Structure 1
Amino acid sequence: MKKHLTSLRAYLEELREIGDLREIDDEVSTELEAGAVIRYAVENQLPAPLFNRLAGHRPGYRILGAPGALSSLPEARWARVALSLGLEPGTHPLAIVDELAAALDAEPIPPVEITDAPCQQNVLLGDEATLDAFPVPLVHVGDAGRYLNTWGVIIVRSPDGSWTNWAITRVMAADSRTLVVMINPPQDIGKIYAMWKERGEPMPAALVQGSEPAIPFAGGMALPSGRDESGYLGGYFGEPLEVTRCRTVDLQVPASAEIVVEGHVSLDETLPEGPMGEFFGYISGQPRQRPVFHVSAITHRDDPILPVVSAGKPVEEVHTVVGPTHAAEVLRNLRGAGLPVTAAWLIPEGSCTLAAITVPREWRQWGGGIHTTTRMLTRAIANVVLRPKVGFWITRILVLDDDLDPTDLRDLAWGFATRCHPVQGQVLIEDQLFTPLHIIYTAAEMQTLSGPKMAYDCLLSPDADKRPVSTAFEQNFPEHIKRRARALWDRPGS
């Protein structure tokens, strides 16, 4: 039974309980200082910092850093992700993937609308609807400006009302009443924006900050276009999310959110946006003209909390979102194609551009023996993994035996180094789409966002007489010897 945490504050209580929250009462500046503290916490796997005093801002206005990064608990590094998704803190990441994948086939449960929502304890309209009171940070040296959205979702809906999309995308503050939104045509928000352009009306939008903790994970998923993230999460938890109606736009937003910014995205007004520190680990991109978001209202809870992510060198929240959620989509697609797959993982330490897929030793028995060689199986797996939308991220795929744990970097390095032939192990997949944030492709490839990708056949021969014997503890020794060895180590030393 999943534990549905229905607010950011309920999530903070869970972090306090497991010792993975650090309250910082010293005054901290939003000018790089908070960003530096967050980045230090992320890189050293420290507790999530909650900044209680921010220079130049009223008491009670707070920032939560690293809300979905890896945990400070050595025995439960994925605790923040697991808790956000209603699971026990020590849940293995592959079990998280399985839960997300199963929900892809669950019946969606649409949200229910309530009134008197916590997110509207304070309502700012007209000239009062400014960002001046909120601690919008400058996170990195090199960022083009202060980014309001690093861990929230922007909510938009198709003009006919049939599709509501909750998406994570960059949103920069241009001034106290104007935002600039990164909208790319291939993304779902870009598809809906194109619908409003065709209609000739500015796009209603709501930017939600500090919602219940599962929402950013749904916002970062590669759900099929036309499917609502709110319904997916309802199906995942087995109960509807609570939403409330905005004050100035015809949209519903999560009722427990900390801050909601309402407005319209212009069809013709643009301002430069970027560069920004991004999930590949670099200050990414050149300034580009992006659509302007005009603020019409701001609602917020008493003593609001703004979650902030320091995007960059792995592992941070983009990776903890994309790794499990995109792996869930990959796993579902591979199983749906009838391929013999036991696990799928997008490796966070590789900025989720590297996928690892494991198969059982008896893979030849699956699918009527269609795939007779490890190379054939590797290519078949790669062709499914690289499907849109998930495939846009991935540039390399490792196909491995399932005696290896794809979440274990030691297993991955060993498997790749000792099981993949330097030449024959490579399977080239050409003319594949990728995201514009990739830095490895040539200028010509960037023009079309299309280039080569590679799969690696790291599979041992399934034939017993050709298969090397592993020295690993789990594979090498009989069960009674392993039990004896564990018992000796479990016994207190003399």
Structure 2
Amino acid sequence: MIRFGELRRYLDTLEALGDLHRVTRPVSADLEAAAISRLSCERQSPAPLFENVEGVAPGFRLLGAPAALSAAPGRPLARVALSVGLPAETTAAELVDHLARTRDVQPVPPRLVAREDALCKQNVLLGDDATLDRFPVPRVHEFDGGPYANTWGIIVARTPDGRWTNWSIARIMLIDGKHMTGLVIPAQHIGMIWQEWVKIGEPMPYALVQGGDPAIPFVGGVPLPPGVDEAGYIGALHGEPVDVVRCETVDLEVPAGAEIVIEGHLSVGRDAREGPFGEFAGYGSTETSMQPVYTVEAITHRDDPIWPLVAEGRPVDEFHTVTGVGQAAEVLAELRAAGLPVTTAWSPLRAASHWMVVTVPQDWRERLPHVDSAELTHRIGKVLSESHSGRATAATFVLDDDIDPADDTDLLWALATRIHPLNRADAWYGFVHPLLNCYTHEERAAQSGPIVFHDGLLPAPGEGRLPHSSFAQAYPEHIRRRVLEHWDD
């Protein structure tokens, strides 16, 4: 396992892979840094580190595309794998399996360290000095409602009774140097905890953490079950505790290696208009909503702090590599817990987290006697239709594991040739994610609609299954070996 403990050691590793580009010319935080980050995602270029940001003190930096697809040859998931402590060459199936298995590992609680040992306490700003005006808060898209103070940081929040401490990612828009507002959706964990504070009529203490060990924002984007502390899951992921330190003004602990920590309280009411913002489906929203207000009461930061930036939009960016991978891991864990034979699950990155693929092993019929493909697909649908992660995608395709769902060429061929244009599908009605663009406006507003499970399983051997006409399967081994030996000729 690889554990970085802080953002800068991770960046050193990316640089050694040729996957980090230091941008030393002056760059504006108003759209320009985000535009470079967006293009780097679309071209699968090295992550840009902006070392000369206009309008802020020297040394204040921005980092774009911190967990997007990698430019390292043959290692497209390097940033994602490294973020959770795995080697750069880790495959999609290995990555999802590792995350799913960690669900069953005993959590490792965080370790409290002294204030003087915490890098995030190198600079402490209180009172009037605690203002975001001194930081390079980026404006991400031209049509956004304002600069966005959070696209890749975690919000630390705790229930009033202290039973659950949640680290999660949600977008937060800058109002002014002392105030922010952001999405607080009731079905999401931040919304669940906020509602508990609303019930007792008190503003919710929060800490917004930018930077730190790359596993922290990654796990903050994974849809773990309600009540699970992300800090303990990260400890289990690494096999050792996360170092945390007490905040200055609120009763919370934050990762000690963070780059920037913003502290304060979240208002009881929905007092400010948030949005619009370019979302993960690849479209710019025109809608706004009333959301609670984050008041800034203290800021601590490292010397020469780095503010991470995600230029969310068309795939592939961090939403797809992190939330999509996290959802796949949860789906895999839930199906295995239900005793169903599943090889892997994968949210195809270029499908913008709207699809899920579940593959099953070739011997699934032996494991489930007297069960046909329709019944297996139905059983998978029943499990996932009752889970948050299962309902977070609109369509799930059940396929044999003779294809790699993370290989777009493999997957497109399988979907085109194995999915019936009308039949062999099971629809389950209920909650749907309001940001999935494939639904109607009415369905998104009501957060209700169908999720569909497609049976793409092949017939049993000897019952109409056709052989593959590919190089790997249509020729005997001695012919394939001879072809490969002489390929350069």
Deviates more, 1:108-117 or 1:262-271: 262-271
User: For residue 456 of structure 2, what is the aligned residue in structure 1?
Assistant: 458
Shift of 1:424: 2.3
User: For residue 166 of structure 1, what is the aligned residue in structure 2?
Assistant: 167
**Secondary structure of the corresponding residue to residue 326 of structure 1:** helix
Tell me, in whole angstroms, the C-alpha distance in 2 between the residues paired with 1:179 and 1:111: 28
User: For residue 12 of structure 1, what is the aligned residue in structure 2?
Assistant: 11
Letter in 1 for 2:74: E
Shift of 1:337: 1.3
User: For residue 176 of structure 1, what is the aligned residue in structure 2?
Assistant: 177
Moved over 4 A (4+): none
Tell me, in whole angstroms, the C-alpha distance in 1 between the residues paired with 2:276 and 2:129: 30
**Secondary structure of the corresponding residue to residue 332 of structure 2:** helix
Shift of 1:350: 0.6
Shift of 1:181: 2.3
User: For residue 307 of structure 1, what is the aligned residue in structure 2?
Assistant: 308
User: For residue 482 of structure 1, what is the aligned residue in structure 2?
Assistant: 480
**Which structure carries more strand by proportion?**
1
Tell me, in whole angstroms, the C-alpha distance in 2 between the residues paired with 1:285 and 1:342: 40
**Secondary structure of the corresponding residue to residue 243 of structure 1:** strand
User: For residue 429 of structure 2, what is the aligned residue in structure 1?
Assistant: 431
Aligned residue pairs: how many?
A: 487
Tell me, in whole angstroms, the C-alpha distance in 1 between the residues paired with 2:73 and 2:286: 35
Letter in 1 for 2:448: S
Shift of 1:428: 3.3
Letter in 1 for 2:68: A
Shift of 1:370: 4.9
Letter in 1 for 2:342: V
**Secondary structure of the corresponding residue to residue 475 of structure 1:** coil
Q: Does the 8 Å CA contact 2:67/2:318 hold for their aligned counterparts? A: yes
User: For residue 408 of structure 2, what is the aligned residue in structure 1?
Assistant: 409
TM-score, normalised relative to structure 1: 0.96
User: For residue 331 of structure 2, what is the aligned residue in structure 1?
Assistant: 330
| 2:293 equivalent to 1:288 | no
Q: What do residues 13-36 of structure 1 show as CA deviations (whole Å, max 9, x unaligned)?
A: 000100000001110111111111
User: For residue 24 of structure 1, what is the aligned residue in structure 2?
Assistant: 23
User: For residue 57 of structure 1, what is the aligned residue in structure 2?
Assistant: 56
Shift of 1:237: 0.9
Deviates more, 1:135-144 or 1:446-455: 446-455
Letter in 2 for 1:132: D
Letter in 2 for 1:406: P
User: For residue 399 of structure 2, what is the aligned residue in structure 1?
Assistant: 400
Letter in 2 for 1:309: V
Q: What do residues 257-279 of structure 1 show as CA deviations (whole Å, max 9, x unaligned)?
A: 00000000010251100110111
Tell me, in whole angstroms, the C-alpha distance in 2 between the residues paired with 1:269 and 1:351: 29
Deviates more, 1:303-312 or 1:70-79: 70-79
User: For residue 213 of structure 1, what is the aligned residue in structure 2?
Assistant: 214
User: For residue 419 of structure 2, what is the aligned residue in structure 1?
Assistant: 420
Shift of 1:472: 1.9
Tell me, in whole angstroms, the C-alpha distance in 1 between the residues paired with 2:399 and 2:420: 13
Q: What do residues 338-397 of structure 1 show as CA deviations (whole Å, max 9, x unaligned)?
A: 212111101111111101111122211113x252x2122122222223333212321011
**Secondary structure of the corresponding residue to residue 135 of structure 1:** coil
Alignment of 1:70-469 (within 5 A): 70-115=69-114, 116=116, 117-268=118-269, 270-284=271-285, 286-367=287-368, 369-371=369-371, 373-425=372-424, 427-469=425-467
Tell me, in whole angstroms, the C-alpha distance in 2 between the residues paired with 1:443 and 1:32: 29
Letter in 1 for 2:103: L
Tell me, in whole angstroms, the C-alpha distance in 2 between the residues paired with 1:113 and 1:135: 30
**Secondary structure of the corresponding residue to residue 456 of structure 1:** strand
Q: Does the 8 Å CA contact 2:53/2:136 hold for their aligned counterparts? A: yes
Q: Does the 8 Å CA contact 1:152/1:211 hold for their aligned counterparts? A: no
Shift of 1:178: 0.3
**Secondary structure of the corresponding residue to residue 329 of structure 1:** helix
**Secondary structure of the corresponding residue to residue 345 of structure 2:** strand
Residues 53/336 of structure 1: CA separation in 2 closer, same or farther (3 Å cut): same
Residues 447/462 of structure 1: CA separation in 2 closer, same or farther (3 Å cut): same
Tell me, in whole angstroms, the C-alpha distance in 2 between the residues paired with 1:370 and 1:298: 62
Tell me, in whole angstroms, the C-alpha distance in 1 between the residues paired with 2:423 and 2:461: 19
Tell me, in whole angstroms, the C-alpha distance in 2 between the residues paired with 1:310 and 1:192: 27
Deviates more, 1:240-249 or 1:447-456: 447-456
Deviates more, 1:290-299 or 1:445-454: 445-454
Letter in 1 for 2:72: L
Letter in 2 for 1:298: I
Tell me, in whole angstroms, the C-alpha distance in 1 between the residues paired with 2:262 and 2:389: 29
Tell me, in whole angstroms, the C-alpha distance in 1 between the residues paired with 2:356 and 2:191: 26
Q: Does the 8 Å CA contact 2:433/2:444 hold for their aligned counterparts? A: no
Shift of 1:465: 4.1
Residues 83/204 of structure 1: CA separation in 2 closer, same or farther (3 Å cut): same
**Secondary structure of the corresponding residue to residue 132 of structure 2:** coil
Tell me, in whole angstroms, the C-alpha distance in 2 between the residues paired with 1:284 and 1:386: 27
Shift of 1:188: 1.0
Q: Which runs of 5+ in 1 are unaligned?
A: none
Q: Does the 8 Å CA contact 2:432/2:450 hold for their aligned counterparts? A: no
Letter in 1 for 2:180: L
Q: What do residues 104-159 of structure 1 show as CA deviations (whole Å, max 9, x unaligned)?
A: 00000000011120001000001100011100011111000000110110000011
Q: Does the 8 Å CA contact 1:386/1:394 hold for their aligned counterparts? A: no
Letter in 1 for 2:223: A
Q: What do residues 151-188 of structure 1 show as CA deviations (whole Å, max 9, x unaligned)?
A: 11000001111110001001111000001021011111
Tell me, in whole angstroms, the C-alpha distance in 2 between the residues paired with 1:273 and 1:284: 11
Q: Does the 8 Å CA contact 1:284/1:437 hold for their aligned counterparts? A: no
- Give % identity: 48
Tell me, in whole angstroms, the C-alpha distance in 2 between the residues paired with 1:243 and 1:310: 28
Shift of 1:214: 0.6
Tell me, in whole angstroms, the C-alpha distance in 2 between the residues paired with 1:485 and 1:159: 67
Tell me, in whole angstroms, the C-alpha distance in 1 between the residues paired with 2:105 and 2:480: 40
Shift of 1:208: 0.2
Tell me, in whole angstroms, the C-alpha distance in 1 between the residues paired with 2:338 and 2:484: 40
Q: What do residues 10-68 of structure 1 show as CA deviations (whole Å, max 9, x unaligned)?
A: 10000010000000111011111111111110100000000011111111000000000
Q: Does the 8 Å CA contact 1:118/1:257 hold for their aligned counterparts? A: yes
Q: What do residues 55-101 of structure 1 show as CA deviations (whole Å, max 9, x unaligned)?
A: 11111000000000001123011110011111111111111101101
Letter in 1 for 2:444: M
Tell me, in whole angstroms, the C-alpha distance in 2 between the residues paired with 1:279 and 1:441: 14
Tell me, in whole angstroms, the C-alpha distance in 2 between the residues paired with 1:481 and 1:470: 16
Shift of 1:485: 3.2
